[in-house]
Structure 1
Amino acid sequence: MRNLLSIARKEIKIALRERLVVSLGIIILLLLGVALYGGYLSYRQQSRIITEKQEEKRKEWLGQGDKHPHIAAHYGTFVFKPKTILSVFDFGLDTYTGTSIYLEAHYQHEFMFRPAQDHSSMIRFGELSAALVLYVLLPLLIIFLAFSSYTKEKETGTLRLLLSQGASYSSITWGKVLAYSILLIVILAPYIAGMFILSSRGLSSAVVPDVAVRTVLLVLIYALYIFIFLSLSVWVSLKSATGRNALLTLLACWILLVILTPKAVANLSESFYTLPSMRAFKEGIQKDIRDGIDGETPGPVRRARLEKEYLTRYGVDSLHQLPFNFEGVSMQAGEEYGNMVYDIHWEKLRAIFHRQNSMGSIASIFNPYLAIQHLSMALSATDLYTAIDFEDKVEAYRRELVRKMNNDMAQNSRYGEFYEYKATRELWDEIEDFSYVTPSAFEILRYYKLEMISIVGWTTFVVLLLHYSNRKSKPIHG
């Protein structure tokens, strides 16, 4: 233990003398600070706008005046996707999923106002977020910090001296890992403190109820990710003859893991599982609603069957004799049929998304960068599955709104009447304002089992790799 601590102190002193390492550390810290501050400003601005617009649309819904319920269902309202405090750290898919959606009868509209639409094609390379700095740029700092950890000892002859004084390869290796870990903790400490301060502001968040748990898990997985890169860098230096060879090897690994592999996996997943165009998707839905899912029961046939069913059930000869407005029942039946068609097509579309994601998850077993990227978005509530959960809850809200409008029409108006019947604000008040709560961190993480296995597996692998290499390394003589 004494040798390990002595080696750690020596490595810290040497690293602090290296101007390049110190400069890179300052640059990383500045980038993290800029990303965190910029993300927070964006969060505050968007949260304020979303809150104002949500209140404005709520007032419009309640103040729409007396009108027929079905007209109110088409009048509709807007729902806005709330920003989460952890999106300050990792923007994830928020840039691409849109911020608002219009809700009305018969139609499932797509999300509007995607921030990515206002950016150039360079947005594909990612926005400057704290997460991007940590999982893309920080490994570069680690490489420059540790690539010469062993090669310099070999070139200057100090490795032979250390071994002759009784130090083991194990104490030397773990002393170096400890030293670099301390340096990285010092560099990242201001950022981690800032992140916890910002997260504490969202502890009472109604959108993400488990902010504290997510923050702790984010710190944990990034600590393991950094440890993986740090250990691999020390191991490569141990096995390399010169610092130049170690640096080239590590840079090649960084390019492969961080740049080439993610892009290749994305391209392959899109090639194997191609998404239909939005136009084809919507046309397919409208065709099945118009002609029937089986292609043989168009809308008029379905309505005729529904009329016959209700006339038989109530033992009457005409729709006017029914104790309710059949038009409301018919409209709700059409709505439910359209919902069923939409669900079928939407599940097919999501199946493609899941297959594409599964390729990334499988690839993450061999690439810790992909694993940390997916887990970071998941814990920041900016991933695909959180977005899907929000869409599902919005759609459920839309369906309930339309159902109440149609049921009121059926129960309180007469067949053949439309403009004669008008509902009042009392009905509008029955539609509660939309609010959203994300799934818990552990509910979301169940979609990322392979990524968690990857991070834990890579951590175990590098520990065993260093242990094995230390045991097999031979003393230096002569």
Structure 2
Amino acid sequence: MNGVLLIAKKEIQIALRKKLIAALAIVIMGLLSIALYTGYVAYNQQRAIIEQAKHENRTEWLEQGDKHPHIAAHYGTFVFKPKTILSLFDFGLDTYTGTSVYLEAHYQHEFMFRPAQDHSSMIRFGELSAAMVFQILIPLLIIFLAFTAFTEERENGTLKLLISQGVSYSSIVKGKIIAYVSILFAIVIPFFVIAFILSTVITDSGSIPDVGLRVLFLLIVYVVYLSIFVAFSVWVSMQSSTGRNALLTLLTCWILFTIIIPKTTANFGESFYPLPSMKIYREAIQKDIREGLDGKNPKIAREQQLKKEYLQHYKVDSIHKLPLNFEGMRMQAGEDYGNKVYDVHWQRLIDIFNHQNRISSLSSFITPYLAVRNVSMGLAATDLNTSIHFQKVTENYRRELVRKMNLDMAQNSKYGEFYEYKADKNLWKTVKDFHYKTMSAYEILSQYLIELLSLCCWGLVIFFLLNYSSHKKKPVL
């Protein structure tokens, strides 16, 4: 063990003396600092805007004045996706999924005000975030740090000297990996400490309650990811005849892992499972509402059947004699059927997304970058699953709002009485203010089991390769 530590100490000293490595480390730490600061500023600005807009819309809803409940249902309101504190670390899909949605009767509107709409086409290449630095740039630092791990020793003759003194290949490998991981820890740990302090000091309105646990999971995931790159770089150096070959091999793998394969898998997903256009999607929903999901139950027939059921239930021969306003019940029945149709089409859309994401998840067995990217977005609550969860919560909120309006109309007004009946603020108050809480960290991780398994497999494969190569190497060069 002393030999391993001595080798690690020597490697750290050599790395610190290399100006290129020191310069790269400074650049990485600088980029992390800039990314953290800009992310924090953007978080504060967007959160302040959202909180203000949320307060204004709630006030507008409560102060809309006396009016018919169904008019109030169309007056509607906006709800806003809260900005989570961990989004300053990993922007994820927040730039593309929109920040607000308008809620009203009969319609499920799409999310509006996507930040990506205000950017140029260069946004497709990504934004500078701390997660991007960890996922793409630090592995590049690792490559320049470790590509000469064995080739330099071999070229200088020091590897032969170490072996002749009884030091095993396994000890040399362990010492070098410990050294490089220690250097990375010196860069990474302070950042996560600052992130943890920020996440606990800054209140997040309860939208993401388990921030500390998520930060811990993020730390573990990134340590595993970067350790895989360290071990892989050491193994490539062990197998390469010259440092030039090792560097070329590692840079090729880096380009494949972080650029080519992720883009290729995304294109495959879009090609194999294309999404319908918004126009086709909306038209299909309206068609099924008019004609019925089976095409044999049109809207007029459904309304006639509903009328018949109410007349039979209350044993009267006219809707004017019903003890409630049939128009309100008819509207709610229409809402319920429209919701049913929407759920069917929405689930089809989600299935397409899931098929596309499954390709990305399985591709994480080819590149660990996809695994850590997906898990990182999930833990930061900026992934697609969180966006879908938020849309489900907002849709349930919309349905409850409309239901309250329609039932009040049915219970407190008469048939044919529309503009004559007006509800007031007491009814508006029964619609509670919208609050959103993300899924727990464990729920999120349960949706990324493939990615977590792939990271474990990458670790085991690299460990096996290092162990196998260490024992296969000849003791004398």
**Which bracket does the TM-score occupy, shorter chain normalised?**
over 0.9
> Do the aligned partners of 2:50 and 2:82 also contact (CA within 8 Å) in 1?
yes
Residues 75-134 of structure 1 show CA distances to partners (whole Å, capped at 9, x for unaligned) of 000000000000011011101110000000000000000001111111111111100011
State which drifts further: 439-448 or 468-477: 468-477
Match of 1:260 in 2: 260
State which drifts further: 198-207 or 33-42: 198-207
State which drifts further: 246-255 or 458-467: 458-467
Match of 1:154 in 2: 154
Structure 1 portions without partners, runs of 5+: none
Answer yes or no: is 1:77 the counterpart of 2:77. yes
> What amino acid does structure 2 have at the position aligned with 1:156?
N
Q: What secondary structure is seen at the aligned counterpart in 2 of 1:90? A: coil
> What amino acid does structure 2 have at the position aligned with 1:341?
V
> Do the aligned partners of 1:90 and 1:131 also contact (CA within 8 Å) in 2?
yes
Match of 1:331 in 2: 331
Q: 1:54 to 1:203 in 2, by over 3 A?
A: closer
Match of 1:436 in 2: 436
- Residue 171 of structure 1: how far off its partner (Å): 1.0
- What is the alpha-carbon distance in structure 1 between the residues aligned to residue 411 and residue 123 of structure 2? 52
> What amino acid does structure 2 have at the position aligned with 1:168?
S
> What amino acid does structure 1 have at the position aligned with 2:467?
H
> Do the aligned partners of 1:390 and 1:436 also contact (CA within 8 Å) in 2?
yes
Q: 1:108 to 1:396 in 2, by over 3 A?
A: same
Q: 1:65 to 1:199 in 2, by over 3 A?
A: same
Q: What secondary structure is seen at the aligned counterpart in 2 of 1:252? A: helix
- Residue 300 of structure 1: how far off its partner (Å): 1.7
- What is the alpha-carbon distance in structure 2 between the residues aligned to residue 228 and residue 324 of structure 1? 68
Match of 2:60 in 1: 60
- What is the alpha-carbon distance in structure 2 between the residues aligned to residue 150 and residue 273 of structure 1? 45
> Do the aligned partners of 1:203 and 1:211 also contact (CA within 8 Å) in 2?
no
Residues 121-163 of structure 1 show CA distances to partners (whole Å, capped at 9, x for unaligned) of 1111111110001101111000000000100000000001111
Match of 2:278 in 1: 278
Match of 2:379 in 1: 379
> Do the aligned partners of 1:203 and 1:212 also contact (CA within 8 Å) in 2?
no
> Do the aligned partners of 1:292 and 1:298 also contact (CA within 8 Å) in 2?
yes
> What amino acid does structure 1 have at the position aligned with 2:99?
T
- The 5-angstrom pairing of residues 205-244 of structure 1 reads 205-244=205-244
> What amino acid does structure 2 have at the position aligned with 1:64?
Q
- What is the alpha-carbon distance in structure 1 between the residues aligned to residue 237 and residue 301 of structure 2? 75
- Residue 366 of structure 1: how far off its partner (Å): 2.1
Answer yes or no: is 1:287 the counterpart of 2:270. no
- What is the alpha-carbon distance in structure 1 between the residues aligned to residue 131 and residue 95 of structure 2? 15
Structure-2-length-normalised TM-score: 0.99
Match of 2:318 in 1: 318
- What is the alpha-carbon distance in structure 1 between the residues aligned to residue 474 and residue 277 of structure 2? 61
- What is the alpha-carbon distance in structure 2 between the residues aligned to residue 467 and residue 426 of structure 1? 72
> Do the aligned partners of 2:85 and 2:204 also contact (CA within 8 Å) in 1?
no
- Residue 205 of structure 1: how far off its partner (Å): 4.5
Q: What secondary structure is seen at the aligned counterpart in 2 of 1:465? A: helix
> Do the aligned partners of 1:36 and 1:129 also contact (CA within 8 Å) in 2?
yes
Q: What secondary structure is seen at the aligned counterpart in 2 of 1:116? A: helix
- The 5-angstrom pairing of residues 137-152 of structure 1 reads 137-152=137-152
C-alpha RMSD of the superposition: 1.0
Q: 1:203 to 1:4 in 2, by over 3 A?
A: farther
- Residue 347 of structure 1: how far off its partner (Å): 0.6
Q: What secondary structure is seen at the aligned counterpart in 2 of 1:221? A: helix
Alignment: residue pair count: 477
- What is the alpha-carbon distance in structure 2 between the residues aligned to residue 156 and residue 131 of structure 1? 38
> Do the aligned partners of 2:84 and 2:204 also contact (CA within 8 Å) in 1?
no
Q: What secondary structure is seen at the aligned counterpart in 2 of 1:233? A: helix
> Do the aligned partners of 2:76 and 2:103 also contact (CA within 8 Å) in 1?
yes
> What amino acid does structure 2 have at the position aligned with 1:169?
Y
Residues 7-38 of structure 1 show CA distances to partners (whole Å, capped at 9, x for unaligned) of 11111111111111110011011011101100
- Residue 456 of structure 1: how far off its partner (Å): 1.2
Match of 1:348 in 2: 348
Answer yes or no: is 1:408 the counterpart of 2:422. no
> Do the aligned partners of 1:28 and 1:138 also contact (CA within 8 Å) in 2?
yes
- Residue 204 of structure 1: how far off its partner (Å): 6.2
- Residue 202 of structure 1: how far off its partner (Å): 4.3
Structure 2 portions without partners, runs of 5+: none
> What amino acid does structure 1 have at the position aligned with 2:451?
E
- What is the alpha-carbon distance in structure 2 between the residues aligned to residue 202 and residue 375 of structure 1? 23
- Residue 429 of structure 1: how far off its partner (Å): 0.5
> What amino acid does structure 2 have at the position aligned with 1:315?
K
> Do the aligned partners of 1:202 and 1:211 also contact (CA within 8 Å) in 2?
no
State which drifts further: 39-48 or 458-467: 458-467
Same amino acid, percent of matched pairs: 61
Q: What secondary structure is seen at the aligned counterpart in 1 of 2:447? A: helix
Dislocated runs of 4+, deviation >6 Å = none
> What amino acid does structure 1 have at the position aligned with 2:473?
S
Match of 1:390 in 2: 390
- Residue 297 of structure 1: how far off its partner (Å): 2.5
> Do the aligned partners of 1:146 and 1:230 also contact (CA within 8 Å) in 2?
yes
> Do the aligned partners of 1:203 and 1:209 also contact (CA within 8 Å) in 2?
no
State which drifts further: 156-165 or 189-198: 189-198
- Residue 465 of structure 1: how far off its partner (Å): 1.6
Q: What secondary structure is seen at the aligned counterpart in 1 of 2:448? A: helix
State which drifts further: 198-207 or 283-292: 198-207
- What is the alpha-carbon distance in structure 2 between the residues aligned to residue 188 and residue 217 of structure 1? 14
- What is the alpha-carbon distance in structure 1 between the residues aligned to residue 419 and residue 299 of structure 2? 24
Match of 1:101 in 2: 101
- What is the alpha-carbon distance in structure 2 between the residues aligned to residue 308 and residue 8 of structure 1? 84
State which drifts further: 188-197 or 397-406: 188-197
> What amino acid does structure 2 have at the position aligned with 1:388?
I
Match of 1:448 in 2: 448
> What amino acid does structure 1 have at the position aligned with 2:243?
G
> Do the aligned partners of 2:236 and 2:250 also contact (CA within 8 Å) in 1?
yes
